[in-house]
Amino acid sequence: MEVPLWLALLVVGYLGVKLIRPPAWLIAVLLLGGFLLADSVLAPAIDAFIK
């Protein structure tokens, strides 16, 4: 069974918010921080670290 990555992330994110109930500011910081890091000069270093 092949599931698109965006769908898997959406389901995991939804379940995480429903079960763990983190504060809204923490969700916003994580989303904004990830978005900003993905488009920064640190992106190649993060990509090399993850792989």
Query: With contact defined as beta carbons under 8 Å apart, do 22 and 13 qualify?
Result: no
> What whole-number distance in Å separates Cα of residue 45 and Cα of residue 38?
11
Count Cα neighbours of 47 within 13 Å in the Cβ-side half-sphere.
8
User: 20 lies in a domain?
Assistant: no
State the total domains in the chain.
1
User: 2 lies in a domain?
Assistant: no
User: 14 lies in a domain?
Assistant: no
Residue 21's φ and ψ, nearest 5 degrees, are 55, 60
User: 40 lies in a domain?
Assistant: yes
Domain that holds residue 40: 25-50
Residue 23's φ and ψ, nearest 5 degrees, are -65, 150
Tens digit of each residue's pLDDT, the chain (51 residues): 899 999 999 999 999 999 999 999 999 999 999 889 888 888 888 888 888
- Check: pTM over 0.95? Answer yes or no: no
With a CB cutoff of 8 Å and minimum separation 6, the contacts of 37 are 43, 46
